[in-house]
Amino acid sequence: MTRSLTNLWGRFLFRDRGVLPALNLLIAAIVLSFIIIAAAFAGVPWVFIISGNLLLLAVSLLDLLFSPGKKDVGIRRIMAEELERGKDYSVKLEIDNHSPYDCQFTITDGLPQSFKRPFPLRGTAEGRKKTAIIYETRAPVRGDYEINKLYIRYKSRLGLWEKQLSSDIQCQVKVIPDLTDVKEYLENAQRFLMYEGEKIRRRRSGSGEFAKVRNYVVGDDPRTINWRQTAKLQEVMANEYEPEHGKYITVLIDCGRMMGAELKKGNRLERSLEAGLTVAAAALQKGDYVSVIAFGKDVKTYVPPAKGMGHLQTILQAVYSLEAEAAEPNYGEVLNYLQTVQKKRSLLLLFSDVRTFLHEESALHYIKRLRQRHLFLMLGIEDERLKQHADASPADVQAAMVRSMAQHQLLIKQREKVKWEKQGLHMMEAREERLASAAVSNYIDIMNRGLL
């Protein structure tokens, strides 16, 4: 296909600029053709036949003349610059018709193919007025996207012709991780953890930093009674303590091959990012320092430790575009890198695949060195399918073999976990929907017990 034919074909495929015959004109032409054929058999003079064709042509040209010109139609796109993965967002399109003529339009926006695309959109733009049309879209894949083109077709008053044009509207969009868990925790931490069967426990009485003096309630340790305030206010008052602030939390996120495994909602990396951001928000809210390291074959991203809720946005901008690699993670390199950048004692939260890590013997040497200074906790997503096979009731010989192999794999994993835990690396697995709450619960428990 030559370049000119390609450009012409592109005009018919809802691109660029052009004027096209509409369905009404084709129907009118077909009807006129049948009339002409019937008139020819009836012996009607050719003057009347030619006059009919000229009349149709004149009407269509007048209809085209009394339609908005291409310079009379303007369009603008209004949408958020940041979209959370998997959530619906509204996009507003404003059509400004400067001409005095009404028109019926059809719009196709140039969204990426991975986005939800409810096109074409149809409506009517009144003359000398602005018309707004709203549609919803959803982005299932994180990353940076550039949206440029927006295509519109509009019909004339009688609908005999269609004009089409494209507007180059530059729009940069970031698709970030789903922050539902982060928002739920910040709104009500206790309810977020109670929903998952956990609760925030009070610190051991008399230890930690003094927080405030409050009324004594049933269940409080009598040793926390503040006798000076009790005598002054004539009611029993108690001291409340909270974990010390200013601790260092390091979130390690694995971007290796197994983290790309698909789950019910997203993949392992998506869930790990959401859980890592949630525990980072919890630590920053408590006044702790948080740093993040993302790694695959090598270290991909490092966010130095800082505190304050503003640091959460810094972390989000650094990790929102991370993708799972096709290679295995290099645990040895990231642990060696960690020793060079994190000199102070910290809680190391590693989000990775437990099965992959258990077979990484090269990391054992670094773990032994790190445990002398840092507290290590590994969090992974349990294999629900393997667990279902292990718990299933065998109906035949093949099902019994599958169950036996699944149980054997679970035993191997449990034996390896015990070996690693003896070296100072604690591991735990949670269901994908509970990973965030499990991470926050373990963080709070460690802080409340004063292990850091």
Every domain of the chain and the residues it spans:
1-176, 248-448
Contact 276/181 with Cβ under 8 angstroms? no
Query: Dihedrals φ, ψ of 253, to 5°?
Result: -120, 120
pLDDT at 121: 93
Helices (H) and strands (E) in the chain, counts: 14, 17
pLDDT at 274: 94
Residue 102 corresponds to which tokens in the numbers above? 């009404």
pLDDT at 339: 86
pLDDT at 201: 44
pLDDT at 220: 78
Q: Whole-model pTM?
A: 0.79
Q: Do domains 1-176 and 248-448 have the same CATH topology?
A: no
Task: Provide the residue count of the chain.
Answer: 452
Reply yes or no on domain 248-448 having CATH 1.10.3720.10: no
**Which residue bears the tokens 């339609």?**
67
CATH homologous superfamily for 1-176? Immunoglobulins (2.60.40.10)
From first to last of its 452 residues, what are the pLDDT tens digits of the chain? 565 665 555 555 555 677 888 888 888 888 888 887 887 777 777 777 778 778 888 888 888 888 888 888 989 999 999 999 999 999 999 999 999 988 889 999 989 999 999 999 999 998 899 999 999 999 999 999 999 889 899 887 788 888 888 888 889 999 999 999 898 888 877 666 653 444 444 444 445 566 678 888 777 788 888 888 888 888 888 887 666 678 899 999 999 999 998 888 889 999 999 999 999 999 998 889 999 999 999 999 999 999 999 999 999 999 999 999 988 898 888 888 998 898 889 999 999 988 888 777 777 777 777 888 889 899 999 888 888 888 888 888 888 898 888 888 888 888 878 877 777 778 889 999 999 999 998 998 888 787 87
What is the C-alpha end-to-end distance of the chain, expressed in Å?
Answer: 70
Alpha-carbon distance of 423 to 164, in angstroms, equals 69
